[in-house]
Amino acid sequence: MQRIYFDNAATTPLDPRVAEVMMESMRSLYGNPSSIHNEGRTARAAVEHARKQAAELLGASIGEIFFTSGGTESNNMVLKCAVRDLGVTRIISSPLEHHCVLHAADTLQRTGLAERVLVRVDAKGQPDMGHIQSLLKEERAGRTLVSLMLANNEIGTLIDLAEVGSLCKEHGALFHSDTVQAIGYYPFNLEELPVDFITGSAHKFHGPKGVGFVYINSEHTLKPFMDGGAQERNMRGGTENIAGIQGMAAALRLAHEEMDSRRAAIQGIRDYFKSKLEQHFDGLEFNGDPANGHYKLLSVGFPPSPKAELLLLNLDIAGISVSGGSACSSGADAGSHVIHALKGDDPRKTIRFSFSHHNTREEVDKAISQLIKIIPAGQPAG
């Protein structure tokens, strides 16, 4: 059975061209970038070339890009280092953030290092700007870090980075955005964006797993997150993942070169899928704001029923991979903190469909006909 993969917000398949770059890197660049001999210098040059490529693509300077093991590490690094090194005593975030941001902020609060405040969000998942403003106006000792994701990984809602960043600047607050779902899908010009920190993860844009980056605006100096050698300009000890770093740079380059055509393809597939769903099923709810949200993602609430309850499992058996909310690290479909924050105890079954430029209309047609078999069409899904 030819499987259909509609879970590209969880992760994306590695681009074969990226795999080639990585194979060549692993074959030939075995030197340690910290060694001063020829092999070491060659490996160092490859890492620095990748950094230059990534920085150029994002409109950052080379000294502002630090390689990490991915989005989780990058987001932890920002929150924890900002508290330790930049005098941050309060983190304003949203209940819709990825767990790596929410749990890092929780840890900081639990250990008494910073206060965590969650901003109100509306039904589409947009943060309440008035609430942020009133929080930022409060007189208090210490700095505030605002941490709001650009594109929500479960419902696709996109925030206005420039608007939030300008508000933070106005009030002297730092601004971090988890941009893991947006890197490689939207253009960035960090030179002009009022952000202090953003983060990325290669496996979300057809690069390898276990490698990512953090952008730290050159105004800020952080102490090492990982103690050890002086790698990553003393920010993160440990021998560099050369093949991963080169793979990420290649994936980012391809994502930018092909951004417009990929976007048109993905959006076309997503919209086609949405129209087919609407044609065949009654009573669906689309979470977030599909018309203005991330074009790769559609979060659908199916009316409650025993059939809907087993939808994820039955789609998997039918050869279709989707997610219930987000990919859960425990492997269990434990319900979504994002849907819960938006809708309370929602009896609907939420399924996240997320697409890539590899998907086709034929796959959509097959998925719809499987859905019709699981939940009979032409009648309310309940």
Nearer of residues 35 and 107 to ligand PLP, judged by Cβ: 107
Q: Closest distance between ligand PLP and the C-beta of residue 11, in Å? A: 7
Q: Closest distance between ligand PLP and the C-beta of residue 125, in Å? A: 13
287 contributes a contact to ligand PLP by CB under 6 A: no
356 contributes a contact to ligand PLP by CB under 6 A: no
Q: Residues 237 to 266: which contact ligand PLP by CB under 6 A?
A: none
DSSP codes joined into one string, 188-207: --TTTS--SEEEEEGGGGTS
Catalytic site residue 81? no
Q: Residues 123 to 162: which contact ligand PLP by CB under 6 A?
A: 149, 153
Query: In sequence order, which residues have a C-beta less than 8 Å from that of residue 372 and are 6 or more positions away?
Result: 280
Residue from 178, 232, 240, 289 touching ligand PLP (CB under 6 A): that is 178
Q: Closest distance between ligand PLP and the C-beta of residue 70, in Å? A: 3
DSSP codes joined into one string, 227-294: -SSSHHHHTB-S---HHHHHHHHHHHHHHHHTHHHHHHHHHHHHHHHHHHHHHH-BS-EE-S-TTTS-
12 contributes a contact to ligand PLP by CB under 6 A: no
Nearer of residues 10 and 377 to ligand PLP, judged by Cβ: 10
For residues 29 and 46, is the Cβ–Cβ distance under 8 A? yes
Residue from 31, 33, 70, 184 touching ligand PLP (CB under 6 A): that is 70
DSSP codes joined into one string, 31-76: S-TT--SHHHHHHHHHHHHHHHHHHHHHT--GGGEEEES-HHHHHH
Residue from 12, 144, 181, 350 touching ligand PLP (CB under 6 A): that is 181
43-to-39, 242, 243 alpha-carbon distances in Å: 6, 7, 10
Q: Name the E strands within 56-211.
A: 65-68, 88-93, 115-118, 143-147, 174-178, 197-201
Nearer of residues 266 and 374 to ligand PLP, judged by Cβ: 266
31 contributes a contact to ligand PLP by CB under 6 A: no
Q: Among residues 216, 232, 199, which one has the least CA distance to residue 47?
A: 232
- In whole angstroms, what is the distance from residue 176 CA to residue 165 CA? 9
301 contributes a contact to ligand PLP by CB under 6 A: no
43 contributes a contact to ligand PLP by CB under 6 A: no
Q: Closest distance between ligand PLP and the C-beta of residue 172, in Å? A: 26
201 contributes a contact to ligand PLP by CB under 6 A: yes
Taking CB atoms, the residue at the shortest distance from ligand PLP is 71
Task: Please list the active-site residues.
Answer: 328
| Residues of this chain that bind ligand PLP (CB under 6 A) | 70-72, 75, 98, 100, 149, 153, 178, 180-181, 201, 212
